[in-house]
Structure 1
Amino acid sequence: MQSLLTVIVTWLSINFGLPPVYEHPRVEFVSAAKMMEVRYGRLPSNRPEGVGAKAVHSAPTEFGHDVHAIYDDLSRTIYLPEGWTGETPAEVSVLVHELVHHLQNVAVLKYDCSEAREKPAYLAQARWLELFGKSLADEFEIDAMTILVRTNCMR
């Protein structure tokens, strides 16, 4: 796993100008129940005062849809579902998405809102899939309008 993380970080740095931080996140394989616990356990109402507006990032879908992976800023952990093998471009693209969040977090990159942090993650995920002739629409049923809504500040 460490070698795969290094390759992806290098690719993200070269292709998207993200800082090449090789301080890799922890990666845990968890049940769907644990993933939901992590995802919803860090909503603003459950977070101590002073902690950022969104400490957990889910990819590639959230709220009412399947959650394929989660990155937790606070613990610097990527949660992948049990059974994740990394054998398909789609599975690896989920890791790409979450590694973007890790690099954003470790480098303390600033965005106008938490949704704006998703734009580079979706872009990297889409570009990774394109390397294999695939798309977010084909693999995850995520179209351009969905990305537009999920990546723009609504406040």
Structure 2
Amino acid sequence: MRSGGPLLCLAASVLLATDAMAADQPELDCDAPAPQVQTPVTRADLNLLIGWIALKTEYDLTSVYRNPPEIVFCDVGDVVDYEAEGLLVDELLSATYDLSRRRITLVQPWTAEDPYDLSVLLHEVIHAVQLDNRDWPCIGAPEWEAYNLQALWLAEHGVLPVFDWDFVFTLSQCPPDASD
């Protein structure tokens, strides 16, 4: 099973595809599913996750329920659009949430039948909900809550969450000048 989240991976691996990397790695369009077969994300899957978030948080989920983020699939090695930059998808990355496009990108293989994979989608839907409901002082600030909710969901589904909590805590801390 993969572990880690989008920002965790961003901090731990290559953040952006540089011009040199872009020359070596063609940018792929992830608007269409990659040719590899994956389980599609159904509206029922999303409703299950949104309902769970509603039970566990105080957030207003109306906008995410009525207009859920777009969900696309990519493969390790792809370069995907992420917040107006190119992001090289490495083997540690499970998914991303791009706020500017309201797009969740799930890294293949992914299946809704696997509780861990479903928790990866949950983590990204949590980000959509978090960012729809409030402003955060820095990009990493929502991670602590998202990982804790993901861990709770996994535990409720009989899966032991294996996250590097020290790293997640560090990742979720804003630099001193973040609120400026």
> Which structure features the higher share of helix residues?
1
Q: CA deviation at 1:150?
A: 1.4
Q: Distance in 1 between matches of 2:158 and 2:140?
A: 27
Q: Distance in 1 between matches of 2:97 and 2:169?
A: 21
Higher relative contact order (CA 8 A, sep 6+): 2
Q: Give the equivalent residue in structure 2 for 1:146.
A: 167
Q: Give the equivalent residue in structure 1 for 2:58.
A: 17
State how 1:69-148 maps to structure 2 within 5 Å: 69-107=95-133, 109-137=134-162, 142-148=163-169
TM-score using structure 2 length: 0.65
TM-score using structure 1 length: 0.74
Alignment RMSD: 2.5
Select 2:80's aligned residue among 37, 61, 74.
37
Bigger-Rg structure (1/2): 2
Structure 1: stretches of 5+ with no match in the other structure: 44-55, 57-62
Secondary structure at 1:113's aligned position in 2? coil
Q: Distance in 2 between matches of 1:32 and 1:88?
A: 19
Q: CA deviation at 1:64?
A: 7.5
Deviates more, 1:14-23 or 1:88-97: 14-23
Identity of aligned residues (%): 26
Q: Distance in 2 between matches of 1:72 and 1:40?
A: 6
Q: Distance in 2 between matches of 1:65 and 1:144?
A: 20
Q: Distance in 1 between matches of 2:80 and 2:68?
A: 23
Q: Distance in 1 between matches of 2:91 and 2:72?
A: 21
Q: Structure 2: which amino acid aligns with 1:86?
A: A
Q: CA deviation at 1:29?
A: 1.2
Structure 1 pair 110–82 and aligned structure 2 pair: CA distance change class (3 A): same
Q: CA deviation at 1:40?
A: 8.2
Structure 1 pair 67–39 and aligned structure 2 pair: CA distance change class (3 A): farther
Q: Distance in 1 between matches of 2:80 and 2:102?
A: 16
Q: Distance in 2 between matches of 1:144 and 1:96?
A: 18
CA contact (8 A) 2:76 2:91 kept: no
Structure 2: stretches of 5+ with no match in the other structure: 1-41
